[in-house]
Structure 1
């Protein structure tokens, strides 16, 4: 049962005043109705709405704060360019809001009492914010690219539809040979995601390569590919399919929540990774999985009931000298035969990925770097190093494609760094996309030389989208919470736990 805290309404009232409207887009929560189902709510200074079991949105008070639930809002791309980072929620879109909120608030110990959704323009550097932001329930921050290509993928070009990030894991597993009957968790429950059979042909399973460009902005990526600036992506689309509406992230649209949702096929209420930082009431622990010192421990926070795609694939392949599955630069690696994080764990390092400094390539010497000035941004510079190290691992794993893993997952981080540094469409963000595309081209060239390209299925995606914050739009809801005199924790910030 999901009961409201005695001070819930006071807290919501304090957070939905007009003077906070520039930074508080929505306050969201759930309650358990008489039938035991979770009803979802969203409120701001305009009014409050409720999604019941039917999924229909019902006005509770005031004016409906939800402008749209259209997953294809702000398409074609020119529509997004005409209204970037909408100023008010009634001009925005929040697709599949009820289902995503029910999942987010579905964990018995880790879900907060309520969550505060930042407005797209909120700039909060003192609390970890950047020029480019994500995490929202809204469509642009939740829209990740999704491209499939190669073996068993139909040549459909651009499709005017969308998918979900929870569909990625089941699709990868299916392409690698996992039957539909085994796309389940350890309790036998079906996954939240589904195989994207709408773009696949029948055929024998074969090697699969899943590629994640962290934080890659869907609209800009597809636009740059169409203009010839991302030839690797363009080549995948030419021999496959791109979803114009991308793949919808789980809420919150942040890194570790959605890496985990991708690689387990279930939402946060089931896999347990509620965000990049959250509180666990059962252990009374503040959990920070999205940190270089803790990424290699991410498997510790997964709910025991979930299975990763690596575990699903391994269950259908015999052990051998060749890795059946490989996880490159990915935190959610449980069950992978080869894993970057496994190497970190084996090293005994107490600083996690932070202890890799002496093993990382020199970012200034990267053959994929176009503008050395971008290295002035520390995160970008580190992203170049990590992605170059990832490329070295991919080259070793695929030196002989005949003995490559059945499933390879290849995460890249510099795209996230570029979008945080400058926001979508900035030069540093586009440079990060071009750099990642250059690594993709190098991989495709490797496969071409071996005559193996046509034998591989490819999937390219991201973990969330991005919007540009507006530096003058600053502020904090901290004082409004503190003035209530109600004991609370605000993690994220935005996850409010009441005591």
Structure 2
């Protein structure tokens, strides 16, 4: 029998007290939850809640939230000078209340509480990596946001920020969807808003959205400015780059934010709580972020949400053959062309069963350092991203004879692999960024050769940022949770569900 709301609240209070013990301070950054419509955060220093106007109220001890400034650790030199802050009081947690309210809004899939890893926590034996993300904090939540090309204002680098839920509405408006049509299936307005302040001039004929998975905003813009990412610099020269990037939804993990980007709503509405989470309605643990299930990820979307592919598809007549395309993207519902459609049609085992069809990564013209291929995920990313470029070039093979899609969405993998494998600012991470930039440059050159580059609007972003874990900061809170004597699931780890 599932615990009653009163039992769950009692279990949560005991768990929070145990998790906020000083001897866990090195690995527990915050414990967060929502109770009776109020968001809370606590750690070994103290406890706060957010009132109705999102103002923090100190309940005990010292306020654990150092700042909520979305522009914290800027300029980039400040981020480099203080990587992976040791204390929450020296960190920033933008839009904390709004993101927590969204995350805990689903009665079936939201956990009873969430444990936020400290930026330096290294938990390799529980699924962690050298480079980490998932936190509520600003650097792990800061994805890049660059707008460029037709219909976009040319402002260069600006001191501003957005949210990832703004990306889908912006893509939709650029594609011709009226602002008053930006709503889910029951007419509820989206959480995000179109970034109309950065749109200017006649609308584009085509829109290309590009996601470099896990590409940190600060490092990305720094490398563009210093000449190491020339294709990205071309986009910025023809548009606008936000220094503060776009704030990811919590948790700042892949599937939660791919979905937020492409629906314009947070996890409490779209239903994808993380890369792994528990569904009380079915009694099952859901693992959409796996090579055997990635192609099925859109199945876990709530029926009420609409993807940007559906929004644009509803706008255009079915007779228009090339409406939307989704390349290497899991959240593809409604796309007329989709890589995942191909996988679903050809294999029941998912992307992993198609290994023989992918190219040899040692022959990739975009690979920098061959020894990085020893990392399995990096090797996979090189192969997948080379195939992704091939698909995009085919979709845009000859715009004069075969109209390209009104909206093309193109996701990249190797950037995530490089940052997980060796951490931000590592040579592996930067090799991955240079690869993605070179593939982008190949595509831009193709559009230029076809004479259509000036007809296209571009939006480049990511799903989260990254921080580096530290080899000396290890350990687990699992023993503390087990000591409560209450049945639980700890998915992630970090999403705690009381199950009995």
Q: What is the TM-score of this pair, normalised by structure 2?
A: 0.97
Corresponding residue of 1:252: 251
Instruction: Name the CA distance, whole Å, in 2 between partners of 1:31 and 1:14.
Output: 18
Conservation of the 8 A alpha-carbon contact between 1:2 and 1:31 = no
CA RMSD across the alignment:
1.1
Q: Give yes or no for the alignment of 1:112 onto 2:116.
A: no
Give the superposition deviation at 1:351: 1.4
Q: Secondary structure at the match of 2:367?
A: coil
Corresponding residue of 2:32: 28
Q: Secondary structure at the match of 2:105?
A: coil
Corresponding residue of 2:329: 330
Give the superposition deviation at 1:350: 2.4
Corresponding residue of 2:65: 66
Q: Give yes or no for the alignment of 1:13 onto 2:17.
A: yes
Q: Give yes or no for the alignment of 1:272 onto 2:271.
A: yes
Corresponding residue of 1:497: 497
Give the superposition deviation at 1:205: 4.5
Q: Secondary structure at the match of 2:114?
A: strand
Corresponding residue of 2:413: 413
Q: Secondary structure at the match of 1:203?
A: coil
Per-residue CA deviation, residues 70-111 of structure 1 (Å, 9 max, x unaligned), is: 000000000011100000000000000000000000011000
Give the superposition deviation at 1:202: 4.4
Corresponding residue of 1:385: 383
Q: Give yes or no for the alignment of 1:366 onto 2:370.
A: no
Give the superposition deviation at 1:321: 6.3
Alignment of 1:283-294 (within 5 A): 283-294=282-293
Corresponding residue of 2:188: 189
Per-residue CA deviation, residues 197-253 of structure 1 (Å, 9 max, x unaligned), is: 110014234200000000001111100000100000000000100000000000000
Alignment of 1:129-144 (within 5 A): 129-144=128-143
Q: What is the TM-score of this pair, normalised by structure 1?
A: 0.98
Instruction: Name the CA distance, whole Å, in 2 between partners of 1:170 and 1:31.
Output: 30
Give the superposition deviation at 1:31: 1.0
Conservation of the 8 A alpha-carbon contact between 1:151 and 1:457 = yes
Alignment of 1:94-493 (within 5 A): 94-320=93-319, 322-347=321-346, 349-402=347-400, 403-493=403-493
Conservation of the 8 A alpha-carbon contact between 1:177 and 1:206 = no
Conservation of the 8 A alpha-carbon contact between 2:204 and 2:456 = no
Q: Which structure 2 residue ranges, 5 or more long, are not aligned? A: none
Corresponding residue of 2:53: 54
Instruction: Name the CA distance, whole Å, in 2 between partners of 1:86 and 1:223.
Output: 20
Structure 1 segments (4+ residues) deviating >3 Å: 1-4
Give the superposition deviation at 1:5: 2.2
Give the superposition deviation at 1:298: 1.1
Give the superposition deviation at 1:52: 1.5
